Amino acid sequence: MKKWFAFSAIFLSSYIAFLLVNAPLVLMANNIELPRNIAVQGVSGSIWQGKIASVIINGNEIKQIKTNVSFWSLFSLSPSIEVTFGDAMLAGPEGKFTLKASTEQLALTEVEVFISANDIAKQLSLPVPVTAQGNVELFLESMVITTIDKLSCSQAKGDVTWLRAGAIALEENIKLGKLSAGISCADGNLLAMVNPNNDLGLSFDGVLALPSQKVSGQGYLKPGAKFPAQLKSVLSFLGRADNQGRYRLRF
């Protein structure tokens, strides 16, 4: 009788594991209530190795998302999910990251994101029509978002760089030089601080507020010897310079 119970337990455990491994990801996706600004399309695969054709966030599309859940991480009650998305041959962002989730926090590591600078420029309210050139690369060593009571950024370390920075504005092809910013947390929000050592004389702090997801920023533009000559005619759109020769920026 004991052997029968043992064999039954092994069979039942194996069967349940089989069902979990092969459970369709779409079943889980259909039971998750998403915010109105997020739409998910083309969900396939299992909860362990899933595929999503596209995710649309505020009208911006991320394509070819693939997920891989580490089975062994479940024993630590902190599931680890490896995510890749995009492709060099497709429009939209491309990248990867590892997400570890628990009841108290979300931890992102090994984050790499590549996106066209013009895709970002389209989201900004600019004084003149601008077509941005080059790509933006985001690298995060780690980022921890606590989920107790409300979302809050407790740790972040990384940087974002605009490679081959340039823009086409007022029929001028303008080279902007290298632009980069450090990523950190401040007062529970995600902060990006532009490295002031740049040709534009730009100092700027951008903030992603949590949990509202509201984006804001402020800083200054102080034209110097390396400031692109083509941009001098645009300065009037920024208002008047202060007594230090700086033009204030804010959004």
Question: Which residue would you say has higher pLDDT here, 103 or 183?
Answer: 183
pLDDT > 90 fraction of the chain, expressed in percent and rounded: 32
- In single-letter form, the type of residue at position 226 comes to K
Count of C-beta atoms within a 10 Å radius of residue 61: 17
Q: What one-letter code names the amino acid at 76? A: S
Residue with structure tokens 């007022």?
170
pTM above 0.85, yes or no: no
**pLDDT over 70 (residue 74):** no
Q: Which residue has the higher pLDDT, 44 or 16?
A: 44
The DSSP element (H or E) to which 34 belongs, if any, is none
Kindly give the pairing relationship between strand 202-208 and strand 215-221.
antiparallel
Write down the domain spans for the chain. Answer: 1-70+80-85, 103-251
Q: What is the DSSP letter of 75?
A: G
Q: Give 19-70 pLDDT, tens digit per residue.
A: 455 555 555 556 566 677 788 888 888 777 888 888 887 778 889 989 888 8
**Confidence check: pLDDT of 2 > 50:** no
Distance, in Å, from the CA atom of 203 to the CA atom of 69, rounded to the nearest integer, reads: 41
Which pLDDT belongs to residue 33? 65
- 23-27, 115-119, 233-237: which is most confident: 115-119
145, 125 Cβ separation under 8 angstroms: no
The CA distances from residue 185 to 116, 156, 159, 191, in Å, are 25, 6, 12, 5
Beta-carbon contacts of 48 under 8 Å, excluding residues fewer than 6 positions away, are: 20, 21, 68, 69, 71
> What is the residue-averaged pLDDT of the chain?
81
Residue whose C-alpha is closest to residue 200's, from 171, 145, 162: 162
Query: What is the bridge-based pairing of β-strands 152-169 and 179-186?
Result: antiparallel
Q: Which residues pair with 146 in a beta bridge?
A: 105, 152
pLDDT value at residue 19: 43
